[in-house]
């Protein structure tokens, strides 16, 4: 009897084996990424809790201002059709003694002048005369564009914003920038009468790793602390706790971003909802949920915060409506061209 010859696998079998191998490889990579994320998050969280246990030094000389005005210059929505919008943030913050440019927006379309510069001109906001720049964290939608994130640079002049003099730029991490003198706020710092940085607060994000973000604190006479956030990546609970430990209370308002894309994402690429998958403080297989929004609202309500002005740039319409229901007349949507004023002259 002739020897039997091996039967070569069919093309379908080859494809099946390749698919199985790729699936196994993908599962291994996913498991490795998950383990690395959990290790990194645990390390950062443990360091944060040690900081909380040690209790930062109380700031007794913050002072106060009679009023504060926050005018969004870059946001997802606008009051008028001639104002530019995008999934980025920039606010003009003014008190009776100081004016601060808070974040730079994104300028994803690489416009010149940028949406920030264009909107400021249309709204007669004198950016040339600001006393300081405040960068909440080093992401592109707050530095003025992706080149800013890559180069760790504040993109002022690149977008057509020129300051009359060099001013301090308060940052949570070392950055550079034309026309500014970067000042790293790794710890809470008073930056003006009634004005302070919370100091850098950590969070471990997927996929970038550790992120440091700080918030702007304004003490308004008769109202308490106004906390202004860029994205709130570290979590609202950490920001509020830091403010209570360092500056006391009560809280008069929370203003800015909470990164709660519960149902949808403003920023998408090829249809992928980037904000829901990335930078939430969760791994991408655990998406932001209605429970996350409920917890954030409960943090504010437990402290009886009367005014909540939420950024739509990183929170979906469902989240905005949810907070509106929870806070009623005390809720505001931040839109380009609408000024929020707390306090009186």
pLDDT in tens, 52-70: 888 777 888 899 999 999 9
pLDDT in tens, 216-240: 999 999 999 999 999 999 999 999 9
Task: Give the per-residue pLDDT at 10.
Answer: 62
Structural domain contains residue 295: yes
Give Rg (Cα) of the chain.
23
Short-list 145, 65, 68, 139, CA closest to 112: 145
Question: What is the CB neighbour count within 10 angstroms for residue 318?
Answer: 15
Parallel, antiparallel, or unpaired: how do β-strands 331-333 and 307-310 relate?
Answer: parallel
Task: Give the per-residue pLDDT at 32.
Answer: 78
Parallel, antiparallel, or unpaired: how do β-strands 67-74 and 340-343 relate?
Answer: antiparallel
Structural domain contains residue 22: no
For 233-253, what is the mean pLDDT? 96
Distance CA 325, CA 301 (A): 12
Structural domain contains residue 42: no
> Do residues 212 and 188 touch, judged by C-beta distance below 8 A?
no
Distance CA 215, CA 230 (A): 7
Indicate whether 49 pLDDT > 60: yes
Task: Give the per-residue pLDDT at 9.
Answer: 59
Structural domain contains residue 30: no
CATH code where residue 176 lies = 3.60.15.10
Question: Cα–Cα distances in Å, from 203 out to 15, 157, 217, 294, 328?
Answer: 42, 30, 19, 20, 30
pLDDT in tens, 83-106: 999 999 999 999 999 999 999 999
Structural domain contains residue 2: no
Structural domain contains residue 3: no
Taking the mean position of all CA atoms in its chain, how far away is CA 59?
Answer: 24
The partner residues of 153 in beta bridges, in order of sequence, read 176
Task: For 46-151, list the strands marked E by DSSP.
Answer: 67-74, 90-95, 99-102, 132-134
Query: Within 13 Å and on the Cβ side, how many CA atoms surround 57?
Result: 8
Task: Give the per-residue pLDDT at 30.
Answer: 66
Structural domain contains residue 19: no
Task: Give the per-residue pLDDT at 304.
Answer: 97
Distance CA 93, CA 71 (A): 6
The total number of structural domains that make up the chain: 1
Short-list 324, 276, 326, CA closest to 299: 326
pLDDT in tens, 296-328: 999 999 999 999 999 999 999 999 999 999 999
Q: Which domain holds residue 96?
A: 59-343
The partner residues of 1 in beta bridges, in order of sequence, read none
Task: For the chain, list the strands marked E by DSSP.
Answer: 67-74, 90-95, 99-102, 132-134, 167-171, 180-184, 189-192, 195-197, 201-205, 209-213, 216-220, 224-229, 251-256, 268-269, 272-273, 307-310, 331-333, 340-343
**What pTM, to 2 d.p., does this model score?**
0.91
Distance CA 4, CA 19 (A): 29
Task: Give the per-residue pLDDT at 211.
Answer: 98
The residue among 212 and 6 whose pLDDT is bigger is 212
pLDDT in tens, 159-201: 999 999 999 999 999 999 999 999 999 999 999 999 999 999 9
Parallel, antiparallel, or unpaired: how do β-strands 99-102 and 340-343 relate?
Answer: unpaired
Question: Cα–Cα distances in Å, from 266 out to 221, 277, 313?
Answer: 36, 12, 7
Structural domain contains residue 31: no
pLDDT in tens, 2-31: 555 665 656 565 555 655 554 555 556 567
Distance CA 261, CA 44 (A): 23
Phi (first) and psi of residue 150, to 5 degrees: -65, -40
């Amino acid at each position: 009897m002739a020897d039997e010859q091996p039967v070569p696998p069919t093309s379908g079998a080859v494809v099946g084996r390749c698919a199985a191998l790729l699936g196994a490889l993908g599962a291994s990579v996913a498991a490795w990424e998950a383990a690395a994320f959990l290790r990194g998050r645990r390390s950062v969280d443990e360091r944060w809790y040690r900081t909380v246990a040690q209790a930062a030094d109380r700031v007794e000389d913050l002072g106060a201002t009679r009023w504060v005005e926050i005018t969004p210059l870059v946001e997802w929505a606008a009051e008028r059709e001639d104002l530019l919008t995008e999934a980025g943030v920039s606010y003009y913050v003014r008190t009776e003694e100081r004016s601060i440019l808070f974040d730079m927006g994104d300028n994803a379309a690489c416009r010149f002048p940028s949406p920030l510069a264009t909107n400021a001109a249309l709204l007669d906001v004198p950016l040339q005369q600001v006393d300081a720049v405040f960068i909440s964290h080093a992401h592109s939608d707050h530095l003025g564009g992706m080149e800013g994130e890559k180069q760790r640079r504040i993109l002022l002049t690149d977008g057509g914003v020129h300051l009359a003099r060099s001013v301090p730029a308060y940052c949570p991490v070392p950055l550079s920038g034309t026309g500014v003198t970067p000042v790293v706020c790794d710890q809470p710092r008073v930056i003006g009468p009634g004005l302070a940085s919370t100091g850098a607060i950590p969070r471990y994000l997927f996929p970038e790793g550790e992120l440091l973000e700080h918030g702007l604190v304004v003490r308004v006479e008769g109202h308490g602390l106004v906390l202004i956030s860029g994205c709130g990546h570290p979590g609202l609970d950490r920001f509020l706790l830091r403010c209570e430990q360092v500056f006391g209370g009560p809280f008069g308002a929370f203003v800015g971003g909470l990164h709660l894309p519960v149902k949808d994402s403003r920023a998408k690429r090829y249809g992928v909802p980037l904000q829901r998958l990335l930078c939430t403080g969760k791994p991408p297989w655990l998406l932001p949920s209605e429970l996350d929004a409920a917890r954030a609202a409960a943090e504010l309500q437990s402290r009886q915060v009367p005014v909540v002005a939420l950024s739509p740039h990183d929170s979906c319409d469902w989240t905005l409506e949810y907070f509106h229901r929870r806070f009623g007349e005390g809720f505001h949507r931040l839109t380009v061209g609408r000024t929020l004023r707390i306090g009186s002259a």
